[in-house]
Amino acid sequence: MEILSTKNNNALAVVFPSVVKHQTNLLNLNRWWDKVALVGKINSLNVPQSLLANMLDTKGEFADLQELLIENLLAEQLQQVGRKHRSMARTLIDIPNRNLFERTADVGFLATDARFVNFLKAQHNTADTQRIVQHMQEYAAKYSVYDDVILLDPQGSVRARMNNAVAEQLGTDPVVQQLISSGKDYVEVCRYSALCPHKTIASLFLAPVRDPHSNELLGVLCLSFKLEDEMTSLFADLDDGSGLVMALLDARGKVLVASDQSLLARGELVATNGQDSLITLNNHQYFCTVAPTRGYQGYVGLSWQGCVLMPLSKPLEHQADDIVAQQDVTLWQGFSATLSNIQRRSRVVTDDLDLVVLNGRIAAARTDADEFIPILEEIRQIGRQMQGIFSRSVRQLMTTALTTHYNSLSAQAALAIDIMDRNLYERANDCRWWALTETFTRVLAAADIPPQAAQSMSDILAYINDLYTVYQGIYVYDNSGRIIAVSNPGLKEWQGTQATEQSLWQSVMSLTDTQQYSVSAFHPCDYYQQRPTYIYNAAIRSDNRVVGGIGLVFDSEPEFRQMLDEVLHNADAKRMGIFVERSGKVISASSNAPWQAGEHITLPADIISHRSGEQGAGIFTLEGQQYVVGFAVSKGYREYKTTDGYSNDILALMVEQNSSDA
């Protein structure tokens, strides 16, 4: 933020008015001091020159301290803004990047769907097309991030699509031939496409559909991702009411989606050279913060960037965001030595001034310069007023510094829990969709299940598990709970046994439609080496009759830890992250934290009393140790945990010990 403080002080008068207010008050007092001292010098010729020199020296000390004070006030304000904006910009790219990573697995797996394969292999009539469209709708009902599913032939012509509002005869898109000629597993594009002429920008994922036996190319599957919908929701989540403008930029810095399209139109170039800088838009200046993608599990997508613009035309301050209690300012041990020294030095200079005034009174009495005594008293009053400004300013500095710290912690907690919700949303989708696999339905509906049929299901599960590596294992069970097929050798010993009661397999028998699912409690699991995890279940149906179910063993230990570790990326090494239930049961902790999954900690009532979606920060005692804590309560994502009937409040905590070296 140095560019603001060193080159654009006039702009700061608007952005940080309290700093300028303190500076103006001090300047006025300095001028008054000069006038009073001049009056005294003119009218009190009998006063020793050494006394006047001492007064000037004391005033010089005040001036040095004033410069240090204003510099630190501004630095703290800028630091608060800079950290906040960098965190927001990273969130604007990290969240979409993780989301799009899931889409790459989706399109690859869905391209092997037997119904799509058979549809493209044969001639079809209207009824066939209607059935395949219903299949697409079933998919989009599970994965609600898509607004269209399209099947194309190898020439790029549409064979079937979910969105009936768009005419079937559309222009072809060269990306289809690019995919085919490239030999890649999938291709991702984000631009205008003739496949979606109703949209000015389309985020598309395409994969080849091949005959599983001959490997013949049958066509191309295209998934249309709701990018604008996704970003609009994210902009709303991050909006703090301060007038910031947020945007998602492509690799060249051109706007894909913006929170204010009247300011940042799609396709407009935001020229920042990848660094914080000042830009001018519509004759107004903005401070621009940009964060490039860090990638996720090797996926960098189209190398997009997150962007935050701060207008330099309106105040940003919010009275410390009403987040800091004065008691916390007293308790926090993290203040810099500079803050404490400013307060201490202001008292020392005031004491020095009192001594100068006392010596002046004595000198005035000795030289019969009674007319100088009112001058001395006025200067002492000026010094008192200056010291008062210093005290108030230091309190503001401390409050701002702690607010910055709190905002950083709570923002990280909110990001962590959002990533968790979005990740588990995908798990709820996966179990429901895979439960619709035709082979599973056919095998489980039969009166007898021969070994080769069970093996065919295991082969499918193995293929799925290779694509979706977030699972320790996947298994299919019949309507009595007997495990029939498993995805990997790690679950082989459980094949043929009764699924455990803790896995919640029984719950699928009461599920009434394909949109429903069930999730086990976070308990130690036989299928996870007695470590705690979640198992996601969905019913497998035949003619609307439940014939069995599918269980997904989430690999919670590394997945949750990685979420927390990535959120803490480049943060203070002593900062730790925790996912925890309201009961105090630890779901996961970052690599540097002492807590283990399944342990219990006692959470303060001031934390667990917060409702879904709320966040905050404070100084609390956990397990006998005082910590600075930022927290956020899960709020769900799309329909997950909001309207789908599943309730599981989790809190993310970002903590660090409250000590001077923390």
* CATH numbers and ranges of domains, the chain: 18-84+336-406 (1.20.58), 428-557 (3.30.450.20), 565-657 (3.30.450)
C-alpha dihedral, 444 to 447 to 450 to 455, nearest 10°: 0
- CA-derived radius of gyration, the chain: 33
Sheet with 158-161, edge to edge strand ranges: 158-161, 146-152, 217-225, 202-210, 187-191
What are phi and psi for residue 173, nearest 5 degrees? -115, 130
How many Å is the maximal CA-CA distance in the chain?
120
- So what's the pLDDT on residue 38? 61
Give the pair of three-digit tokens for residue 500: 């455990």
Contact (CB, 8 A) for 409 and 617: yes
For residue 13, what is the DSSP state? Answer: H
Q: Report the C-alpha gap between 397 and 541 in whole angstroms.
A: 63
- So what's the pLDDT on residue 63? 73
The one-letter code for the residue type at 389 is I
- So what's the pLDDT on residue 662? 46
Closest Cα to residue 18, out of 364, 259, 320?
320
- So what's the pLDDT on residue 6? 47
CA 288 from chain centre, in angstroms, equals 19
Positive or negative, the CA dihedral 67, 70, 74, 80 is positive
Neighbour tally for 443: CB within 10 Å: 25
- So what's the pLDDT on residue 313? 72
pTM: 0.85
Give the pair of three-digit tokens for residue 68: 């240090």
Q: Report the C-alpha gap between 271 and 276 in whole angstroms.
A: 10
Ranges in the chain, pLDDT < 50: 1, 6, 319-322, 662
- So what's the pLDDT on residue 144? 95
